[in-house]
Amino acid sequence: MPMEATDEELLARYRAGDTEALAMLIERHRRILFGFILGMTEGREDAEEIFQEVWLRVIRKLWLYRSRNFRGWLMR
């Protein structure tokens, strides 16, 4: 049974041009991030918009990521 790629491995693959790796990261962190956002907003529509904005910021700011805890970096 193949091991599941770590967040760091997926990030490295995305940086190398593998857009499927980004899709896997988004799916992996969808539930916790969306739930967190939903708890801080007025409703689902707002949460969906913010969720998308968070991932756009991740893409733009990925060069700043130096941690070994992607989820912690994502949630700040």
CATH of the domain at 19: 1.10.1740.10
Residue that the structure tokens 């989820």 belong to? 71
Question: 68 is in which domain, residue-wise?
Answer: 7-75
Quick one: tokens of 65?
């990521």
Determine, yes or no, domain membership for 34. Answer: yes
Q: How many domains does the chain have?
A: 1
Determine, yes or no, domain membership for 57. Answer: yes
pTM: 0.86
Determine, yes or no, domain membership for 2. Answer: no
Determine, yes or no, domain membership for 50. Answer: yes
Quick one: tokens of 48?
């969906």
pLDDT in tens, 14-27: 999 999 999 999 99
Neighbours of 74 (CB within 10 A): 19
pLDDT band at 67 (very low <50, low <70, confident <90, very high): confident
Model confidence at 2: pLDDT above 80: no
Tell which residue, 6, 40, 15, 42, has the closest CA to residue 54. 40
Structure-derived torsion over alpha carbons of residues 68, 10, 28, 43, reported in degrees to the nearest 10: 80
pLDDT at 45: 97
